[in-house]
Amino acid sequence: MVLLDPDRMSIPEIVGLARKSEEGGADGFLVGSSLLLSSRFDESIKQIRKNVKLSVIIFPGNANQVSKYADAILFLSLISGRNPHLLIGEQVKAAPMIKEFGLEPIPTGYLIIESGKATSVQFMSDTQPIPKDKPDIAKAHALAAEYLGMKFVFLEAGSGADNPVPDLVVREIRDFISIPIIVGGGIKEPEVAYRKVKCGASFVVIGNALEKDDSIIRQFADAIHTKEKPKAAEKTIKSPYPVNAPSNPEESNH
Ligand code: 1GP
């Protein structure tokens, strides 16, 4: 999934990236921002929708990010935090609008995982991320999301994060819950995306890396659409990429 942030791109740029992503093998689009400064949100979604066939799903930072032009919306609850506004407050504000617009709500448990320096989503949500070396805490949160009836768990390192969600965290959650996992934040290379899928991610979200270089969309798509199925207890990942070792030394302890 390609993250399109209306704050970081003009409408022609966002439409251009959406078209290239579709041609390059993307599966869909997430549109949103943890802090929306521009007034282009609605028009951006309208234009993306007009120019691509893939689904356009809102990835909202708050209840103001609802648009009738989208196909669906991640109905997020930030369950790794204890900020009542993001656990239930914004959802109550957004729900009637979602109904009125006929958007499909996708109930999703949103977990922020520590990733190096503070990210926008951490700051704006006023919450503590789950420590990256405490997979048990992440597992308990993910299971709670499943038991609350959520359809997905989104493991978020934060846009532009120094480090993505560690492989170990993805794998341990995969082995512990039954609902699909979305992983995003700080995934800069196709081989890193490949590893997240091998560890059990059903969807990988890429934003910054494609804004910087849209010529690697196909490589990301090929890496993510690996035919090999992740094995539940797999401990070694045989990567088809030349660099087999984790590119991030912080991830090398698993
Ligand atoms: C952020 O997961 C997304 O919410 C994407 O992050 O921009 O770092 O790829 P990046």
pLDDT at position 178 over 90: yes
Atom of ligand 1 nearest to the CA of 156: 2
Contacts of 251 (CB under 8 A, 6+ apart): 163, 164, 166, 167, 168
pLDDT at position 150 over 90: yes
Q: Is the four-CA dihedral 185, 189, 194, 199 of positive or negative sign? A: negative
Arithmetic mean of pLDDT over the chain: 92
| Other Cβ atoms within 10 Å of 214 Cβ, number | 16
Question: Which amino acid, 101?
Answer: F
Domain segments of the chain: what residues? 2-251
Name the residue of 187, 188, 189, 224 to mutate for ligand 1: max ligand atoms within 8 A of Cβ: 187
Residues 46-84: tens digit of each pLDDT: 999 999 999 999 999 999 999 999 999 999 999 999 999
Name the residue of 1, 196, 205 to mutate for ligand 1: max ligand atoms within 8 A of Cβ: 205
pLDDT at position 233 over 60: no
Angle between helices 41-51 and 11-23 (to 10 degrees): 30
Stretch among 110-114, 191-195, 233-237 having the lowest mean pLDDT: 233-237
Task: Give the tokens for residue 5.
Answer: 């942030």
Atom of ligand 1 nearest to the CA of 157: 2
The topology under which CATH files domain 2-251 is: TIM Barrel (3.20.20)
Cβ–ligand 1 contact at 161 (below 6 Å): yes
- Quickly state the pLDDT bin for 38 (edges 50, 70, 90): confident
Give the residue ranges of DSSP H helices in 148-203: 167-174, 190-198
- Quickly state the pLDDT bin for 250 (edges 50, 70, 90): very low
pLDDT attached to residue 253: 37
pLDDT attached to residue 88: 98
* Whole-prediction pTM: 0.91
Q: Which residue has the higher pLDDT, 254 or 161?
A: 161
Name the residue of 112, 125, 156 to mutate for ligand 1: max ligand atoms within 8 A of Cβ: 156
Q: H helices then E strands: how many in the chain?
A: 10, 8
pLDDT at position 232 over 80: no
